[in-house]
């Protein structure tokens, strides 16, 4: 589908860049006060968090990076695009900005990346808001995602036809997306080269023990227990076909003290279907 420019009215933020492994990482840094760090997944980018930034920048400092290969960040064609590198890049940004007492908000791949940050730097993380994600190896993968991992066919569908990001704007929201939302979510992914990370994230799901990212993800999972004393809110779209309520149950088993908000009518894109629920969770954990 063609992408118009109307989405820019919903993303009126100053762009900033920081050099990391893989090139220049784009990020948003708006407001002042208690720090909120938001990490997106695949195939979204910082635009996904726009309503949270707008709602909180008057009372908080909201930092939202685009992972390398995503959004407005550089999209190198020969970078490894492994979980370890994404975690390391966020670590560098957090240390560069000296972010402390952070309320960490994560979604999709941002859950594994953000959890990696949190278990390595628990002293910098005050609270966590977890939305439709996982941070441990799983034996389950939806068929429609598994198909994107088939050599040749996956590249054709994801990079050639934009079949991952393009399908997500219809399949990841139960409420349906506005034209501006569709345009914004698709804007950075207009060509084969632009969609490099969209495919690499799918390929980096470590389904086998021999996968290059399996040890990294297992170390993150093993480290989650060190976060047990930190206040946590689980905000879950219950109609998510990817990170189903089974994943929510796993978070609850690991963090039985976490407060849970089940959004019965919401899909994977929680910030599109019910942004107010995530914003409320952040405000509850990090009042100004």
Higher-confidence residue: 205 or 288? 205
Residue 149, pLDDT above cutoff 50 = yes
Q: 6-285: what fold? A: Rossmann fold (3.40.50)
Q: How confident is the model at residue 157 (pLDDT cuts 50, 70, 90)?
A: very high
Band (199; pLDDT cuts 50, 70, 90): very high
Interval 7-18 mean pLDDT: 97
Task: Please tell me the distance from the alpha carbon of residue 184 to that of residue 199, in angstroms, as a whole number.
Answer: 19
Instruction: Give dist(CA 125, CA 273) in Å, integer.
Output: 27
**pLDDT (mean) for 276-284:** 98
Mean pLDDT of 25-38: 98
Q: What is the pLDDT of residue 1?
A: 47
Strand, coil or helix: what is 66? Answer: coil
pLDDT of residue 3: 67
Q: Quick one: angle between helices 83-97 and 109-120, nearest 10?
A: 60
**What does the angle CA 110 – CA 148 – CA 199 come to, to the nearest 5 degrees?**
50
Give the dihedral sign, CA 215/165/277/67.
positive
214-270 pLDDT, tens digit per residue, is 999 999 999 999 999 999 999 999 999 999 999 999 999 999 999 999 999 999 999
Is residue 93's pLDDT more than 50?
yes
pLDDT bracket for residue 274 (50, 70, 90):
very high
Q: Kindly report the average pLDDT of the chain as a whole number.
A: 96
Contact (Cβ atoms closer than 8 angstroms) between residue 26 and residue 53: no
200 SS3 class = helix
Residues marked active site are found at 108, 240, 268
Share of the chain above pLDDT 70, in %: 99
Mean pLDDT to the nearest integer, 62-72: 98
Beta-strand ranges (E) seen in the chain are: 16-20, 23-30, 35-39, 61-65, 102-107, 125-131, 232-237, 259-263
226: how many CB neighbours lie within 10 A of its CB? 12
Domain ranges of the chain: 6-285
Q: What is the pLDDT of residue 2?
A: 54
pLDDT at 4 over 80: no
| Span 107-128, average pLDDT | 98
What is the band of 148 on the pLDDT scale with cuts at 50, 70, 90? confident
Q: 175 Cβ partners below 8 Å, 6+ apart?
A: 265, 266, 267, 272, 273
């Amino acid at each position: 589908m063609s992408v118009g420019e109307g989405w820019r009215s919903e993303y009126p933020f100053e762009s900033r860049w920081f050099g990391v492994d893989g090139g220049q990482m784009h990020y948003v840094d708006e407001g002042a006060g208690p720090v909120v760090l938001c990490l997106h997944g695949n195939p979204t980018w910082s635009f996904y968090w726009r309503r949270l930034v707008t709602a909180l920048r008057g009372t908080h400092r909201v930092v939202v990076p685009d992972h390398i290969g995503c959004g407005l960040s550089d999209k190198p064609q020969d970078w490894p695009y492994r979980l370890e590198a994404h975690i390391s890049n966020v670590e560098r940004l957090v240390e560069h900005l000296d972010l402390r007492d952070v309320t960490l908000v994560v979604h999709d791949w941002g859950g594994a990346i953000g959890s990696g940050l949190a278990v390595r730097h628990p002293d910098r993380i005050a609270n966590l808001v977890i939305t439709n994600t996982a941070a441990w190896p799983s034996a389950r993968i939806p068929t429609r995602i598994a198909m994107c991992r088939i050599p040749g066919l996956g590249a054709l569908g994801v990079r050639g036809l934009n079949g991952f990001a393009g399908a997500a704007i219809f399949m990841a929201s139960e409420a349906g997306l506005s034209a501006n939302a569709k345009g914004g979510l698709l804007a950075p992914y207009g060509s084969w080269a632009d969609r490099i990370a969209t495919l690499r994230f799918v390929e980096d799901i470590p389904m086998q023990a021999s996968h290059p990212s399996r040890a990294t993800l297992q170390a993150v999972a093993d480290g989650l227990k060190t976060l047990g004393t930190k206040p946590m809110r689980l905000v879950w779209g219950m109609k998510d076909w990817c990170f189903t309520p089974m994943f929510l149950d796993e978070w609850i088993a690991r963090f039985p003290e976490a407060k849970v908000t089940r959004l019965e009518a919401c899909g994977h894109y929680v910030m599109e279907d019910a942004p107010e629920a995530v914003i409320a969770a952040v405000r509850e954990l990090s009042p100004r």
